[in-house]
Amino acid sequence: NYIVQYIYTNILNATDTLTKPLRVFTAPKAVINDNRSCVDNAVIFHQNSFVIGGLPGVTIDDYTWDFGDNSSNNGGLDSIPSHFYNDPGTYTIGLTVTTNQGCKNSTTKQIFVGEPPVVDFEWTKICSGDATTFVDKSNAFNSTIVNHTWDFDDGTTLSGFY
Q: What is the pLDDT of residues 3-47, one digit of tens each?
A: 999 999 999 999 999 999 998 888 999 999 876 777 788 888 889
Q: What is the pLDDT of residue 35?
A: 67
Q: How confident is the model at residue 64 (pLDDT cuts 50, 70, 90)?
A: very high
pLDDT at 141 over 70: yes
Q: What is the pLDDT of residue 162?
A: 54
Q: What is the pLDDT of residue 14?
A: 96
The closest alpha carbon to 142, from 89, 64, 86, 71, belongs to 89
Q: What is the pLDDT of residue 31?
A: 93
Own/partner contacts of 69-75, CB < 8 Å, gap of 24 or more, are none
Q: What is the pLDDT of residue 158?
A: 85
Bridge-based pairing state of the strands 89-99 and 60-66: antiparallel
* Better-predicted residue by pLDDT, 141 or 79: 79
Asked whether the beta carbons of 104 and 96 are under 8 A apart, the reply is yes
